[in-house]
């Protein structure tokens, strides 16, 4: 492994940095693999890494239609937390958070995981009651959680507008001190580099166009670079999941929506935590470069277009300014969108599909970046052991048949409301 360390950096500096090897790619696509992973986002790359590292399965190819980490991994607002109410979601995200805490050392790649805290604002007595219930449930499961009063919020975040005459006055907040952010590109590159080092083959600009299926069992995929046979195929393509399921001949209980995010011009450090506004939705954090990263709800229509309308930008910005009025004259610099895949109960879909040997990891909507390490870990174990990892088992597709759904949002079978 080409280790990154201060000594190695110094040694390469003396050689004009000409001796570094490429971190991934460069090997030819073979005709056959034990496992093919479709989608080179954080989830697919993490799965390949843990397959090789934890289970010794290295005859693996990742095929990515664009560039590595160019899907939702590149487009998300990078917020990480485990403050969930339902046991299956809370345990999964907490396992992920623990993996995040050691990830830079594990990958020998700085993923810039920053535990700057996550503040979820309450704007009514009802929301405070809900957050108190969530905090109690989290603590009961061994997850850190605090309820902040308005006075504690003022001390923690002096710039926050706590005026009682504002349109949606703040009543308090749910606070998770271990929550925070990580650098999205570094996560993709870190997993890719480590997986490649362990023998995994990675192919960019290689589009899966169809599946080879014989007698109800997966036999491989047809890609834009030719056919590849495989015993197991894992599809990890986020917003495009329903399109690939259709190619395999089944439907998934989810809908896809564009969702936007945007950044401001860079500022000196002004917001030292992640803050979430809960009358409708708006969230904000500040990158190490100084840009304010902001996002809100889905676009009000289904689709696979990674583009959104001005209405959403306007309404998110209005909420951000309600929280932090001093930002009203800051300019937005860039906007973009990703495609969120949201199941009927708002929780992910993990594991076996109606086609034997064809697995899906999807349904993460606009909340799956935080799950990247655990999704990789549990999907790798599911493939290696031939049965669902205990943390992934509650999210099987069959839960819709068996009536065991996990409705974190409590809004029923309406994906757009989750
Ligand atoms: C605007 C926005 C904000 C978000 N904010 C947060 C947040 O703050 N916190 C959080 O936890 N989550 C957030 N998310 C969600 C998070 O980004 C995703 O859940 C997560 O990144 C999904 O990772 P992935 O690897 O499954 O998907 P992706 O990163 O999308 O990777 C899937 C890959 O599959 C490839 N692909 C598609 N079709 C094919 C094909 N036919 N053949 C080969 N490859 C194919 C795509 O090109 C893509 O690179 C947000 C999402 C968006 C869009």
* pLDDT score at 25: 86
Of all protein residues, the one whose alpha carbon is nearest to atom 48 of ligand 1 is: 71
* Residue owning tokens 């083959």: 201
Tokens, residue 181: 């952010």
Distance (Å, whole) CA 202 – CA 194: 11
From atom 21 of ligand 1, which residue's Cα is the shortest distance away?
Answer: 73
- Ordered strands of the 292-298 beta sheet: 146-148, 172-176, 118-122, 274-277, 282-286, 292-298, 254-264, 332-343
Note the pLDDT of residue 156: 95
Q: Give the distance (Å) from ligand 1 centre to CA of residue 84.
A: 20
Give the list of residues 6+ apart from residue 304 with CB closer than 8 angstroms, or none. 239, 240, 243, 256, 339
Tell how far the Cα of 154 is from the centroid of ligand 1, in angstroms: 35
pTM above 0.95, yes or no: yes
The CA distances from residue 8 to 1, 4, 11, 228, in Å, are: 12, 6, 5, 38
Q: Which residues line ligand 1 (CB under 6 A)?
A: 38-44, 63-66, 70-73, 75-79, 207-208, 236-238, 240, 244, 259-261, 295, 338, 340, 364, 366-370
Using the atom order of ligand 1, give the atom closest to the CA of residue 74: 29
Q: What is the pLDDT of residue 2?
A: 82
What is the whole-number distance in angstroms between the Cα of residue 73 and the centre of ligand 1?
A: 5
What is the mean pLDDT of each successive set of 10 residues along the chain, which is 418 residues long?
90 92 90 98 98 98 97 98 96 98 98 98 97 97 98 96 95 98 97 97 97 98 98 98 98 97 96 95 96 96 93 95 96 96 97 98 97 98 98 97 93 91
Residue nearest to atom 14 of ligand 1 (CA): 366
């Amino acid at each position: 492994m080409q280790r990154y360390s201060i000594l190695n950096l110094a040694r390469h500096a003396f050689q004009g940095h000409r001796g570094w090897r490429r971190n991934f790619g460069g090997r030819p696509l073979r005709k056959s693999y034990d496992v093919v992973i479709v989608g080179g986002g954080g989830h697919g790359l993490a799965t390949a890494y843990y397959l090789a590292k934890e289970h010794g399965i290295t005859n693996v190819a990742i095929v990515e239609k664009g560039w590595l980490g160019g899907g939702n991994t590149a487009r998300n607002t990078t917020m990480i937390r485990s403050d969930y109410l339902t046991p299956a979601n809370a345990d999964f995200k907490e396992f992920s958070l623990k993996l995040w805490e050691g990830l830079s050392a594990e990958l020998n790649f700085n993923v810039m995981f920053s535990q700057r805290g996550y503040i979820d604002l309450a704007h009514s007595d009802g929301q405070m009651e809900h957050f108190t219930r969530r905090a109690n449930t989290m603590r009961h499961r061994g997850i850190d959680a605090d309820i902040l009063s308005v006075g504690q919020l003022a001390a923690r975040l002096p710039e926050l507008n706590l005026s009682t005459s504002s349109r949606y006055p703040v009543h308090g907040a749910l606070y998770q001190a271990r929550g925070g952010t990580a650098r999205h590109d570094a996560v993709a590159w870190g997993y890719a580099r480590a997986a490649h080092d362990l023998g995994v083959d990675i192919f960019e600009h290689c589009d899966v166009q169809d599946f080879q299926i014989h007698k109800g069992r997966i036999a491989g995929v047809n890609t834009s670079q030719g056919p590849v046979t495989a015993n197991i195929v894992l599809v990890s393509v986020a917003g495009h999941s329903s399109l690939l399921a259709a190619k395999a001949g089944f439907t998934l209980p989810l809908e896809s929506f564009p969702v936007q995010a945007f950044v401001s011009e860079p500022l000196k450090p002004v917001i030292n935590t992640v803050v979430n506004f809960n009358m409708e939705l708006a969230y904000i954090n500040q990158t190490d470069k100084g840009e304010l990263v902001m996002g809100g709800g889905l676009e009000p229509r289904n689709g696979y277009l990674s583009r959104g309308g001005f209405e959403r930008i306007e309404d998110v910005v209005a909420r951000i300014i309600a929280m932090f009025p001093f930002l009203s004259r800051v300019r937005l610099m860039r906007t973009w969108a990703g495609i969120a895949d949201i199941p009927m109960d708002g929780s992910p879909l993990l594991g076996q599909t109606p086609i034997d040997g064809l697995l899906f990891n999807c349904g993460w909507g606009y909340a799956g970046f935080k799950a990247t390490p655990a999704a990789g870990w549990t999907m790798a174990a599911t493939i290696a052991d031939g049965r669902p990892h205990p943390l992934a088992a509650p999210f099987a597709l069959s839960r819709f048949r068996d009536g065991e759904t996990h409705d974190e949002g409590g809004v029923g079978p309406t994906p757009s409301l989750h």
